[in-house]
Amino acid sequence: MQTLASRSLWICLSAALVLRLGFAFIGFPILQQRWNLREDGDGYGFIAEAIREGHYTDVTRGPVYPVFVAVAGSPSMVKLLQALVDTGTCWLVFLLANRNWKAAALWAVYPFAIWRVAFINKEVVLAFLLMSYVCVQLLALRNGKLWQWLVAGGLLGLVNLCKPTFLVWPLAVFALAFLHRVSMWRVAALVAAALVVVAPWTWRNYLVTDGAFLPVGIENGGVTTFIGNYQPTRGLWEGTGKSNWMLAVAEITAQHPGTSAIELDRVFYGAALEQVTRNPVTAAGMFVRKCGRFWFLSAARREQAASLVIQAAYLILLGIGLRRRWPWSSEIVLMLLLIAYVMLIHAVSYADMRFSHTVMPLVCALGCAAFHARERRTEATASAAR
């Protein structure tokens, strides 16, 4: 059985790499012309160029992905490396699923994982780092060794240097550790290791901004949160109301001339809160809708029917898999908490299907249990035949 699983895993990894390279270098150029796609919509190429030229003072993004792009050198090399990294994520999904090759297969053929490799944005690298953290965190929960908690904390620090969405995630780990009677000193070691990794970049931000406190990067979080909570457009990025939120953003920016990027980011967070408090009932309805958009709706709302079918199929597998794994271990609870955490963060700010990419490997790892009952029936049938 181990030889069969190993052979199946290699098939999954090979298929994952071929599919990603094929789409990045053959499929994407065709669709790019047809749909007018931007491969670097977040401007990472400009930040990478500043890194190579030695004047990296940008505070809008965390350093991990811009450095990744700078080291790669060209968009083609970025895509090649992302295909390799995402194939690595496929292997991590296999480990998270207790070496079940079916989980790796689910990620290998997941259409939106293949799609994401062709773009220059952080989701591919972030998913790999996040799954690396989860693998080590589960080992730490299982074995309780101090070095495992320290390594998990270091990886969590790297995850935050890629995207600081996870800065408050240790609170969830504290809660889980308390409920399962894990030593709080172990969790403190996790936090300390994460701080050691993040702190040098925080100090760098302090220096380049003349004394501002910014743990990682603004990530345009304020304006994105404002758009996601702008009630006249129901938090949608694209559509007929786009000009409305663009005008609102321009007005707020014009009201604060000479404001630094960090201060303006905080102004937009305040404006987002004002949108919520102005009509809490509408805000609550938008929150619920954004939970759905997180899984099913892309910003461009392209190929919505296909997106709905694909995402629904994976989430149905997740539901069946969780039902068959009941009662849940602390490891499954941690993975579910992480899925819920990422979804709720984006439901509070701005949500579309792109942001579910980082937790879809967990969906695959948990959803592969949906096939277990069929395997048992097959074995029983084979035994009866003998």
pLDDT reported for residue 182: 85
Q: Do 309 and 321 form a contact (C-beta atoms < 8 A)?
A: no
pLDDT tens-place string over residues 221-253? 999 999 999 999 999 998 888 999 999 999 999
Kindly state whether residue 198 falls inside one of the protein's structural domains.
yes
Helices (H) and strands (E) in the chain, counts: 19, 0
Average pLDDT per 10 consecutive residues for the chain, totaling 386 residues: 75 97 96 90 92 91 96 96 98 95 97 96 97 96 93 98 96 89 91 97 95 94 96 90 94 93 95 96 96 91 86 97 93 96 97 95 96 48 36
Q: Total domain count for the chain?
A: 4
Kindly state whether residue 303 falls inside one of the protein's structural domains.
yes
pLDDT reported for residue 374: 45
Cα→Cα distances 45→36, 60, 161, Å: 18, 13, 18
pLDDT reported for residue 304: 84
State which amino acid sits at residue 222: G
Kindly state whether residue 305 falls inside one of the protein's structural domains.
yes
Residues 53 and 106 placed together within one structural domain of the fold: yes
Of 381, 337, 383, 374, give the one whose Cα is nearest residue 100.
374
Residues 79 and 171 placed together within one structural domain of the fold: no
Round to whole Å and give the CA distance between 55 and 50.
6
Residues 226 and 136 placed together within one structural domain of the fold: no
Residues 297 and 368 placed together within one structural domain of the fold: yes
Residues 110 and 5 placed together within one structural domain of the fold: yes
Q: Which of 182, 204, 226 is where one domain is finished?
A: 204
Residues 187 and 172 placed together within one structural domain of the fold: yes
Kindly state whether residue 209 falls inside one of the protein's structural domains.
no
- Helix locations, 163-279, DSSP H: 169-179, 184-208, 221-228, 242-254, 261-278
Round to whole Å and give the CA distance between 332 and 366.
8
Residues 251 and 293 placed together within one structural domain of the fold: no
DSSP category for residue 166: G
Give the pair of three-digit tokens for residue 117.
């490799």
Give the pair of three-digit tokens for residue 147.
């070095």
Greatest CA span in the chain, whole angstroms? 81
Kindly state whether residue 210 falls inside one of the protein's structural domains.
no
Residues 89 and 66 placed together within one structural domain of the fold: yes
Residues 271 and 299 placed together within one structural domain of the fold: no
Kindly state whether residue 226 falls inside one of the protein's structural domains.
yes
Kindly state whether residue 45 falls inside one of the protein's structural domains.
yes
State which amino acid sits at residue 250: A
pLDDT reported for residue 5: 67
Residues 266 and 335 placed together within one structural domain of the fold: no
Q: Do 256 and 248 form a contact (C-beta atoms < 8 A)?
A: no
Residues 221 and 200 placed together within one structural domain of the fold: no
- Residue 108 CB contacts under 8 Å (≥ 6 apart), including other chains: 12, 13, 15, 16, 19, 90
State which amino acid sits at residue 186: R
What kind and span of H or E run contains 81? helix 75-96
Give the pair of three-digit tokens for residue 341.
């955490």
pLDDT reported for residue 4: 57
Kindly state whether residue 244 falls inside one of the protein's structural domains.
yes
pLDDT reported for residue 266: 95
Q: Which of 57, 87, 121 is where one domain is finished?
A: 121
Of 154, 91, 102, give the one whose Cα is nearest residue 127.
91
Q: Which of 96, 121, 146 is where one domain is finished?
A: 121
Domain containing residue 228: 217-277
Residues 189 and 230 placed together within one structural domain of the fold: no
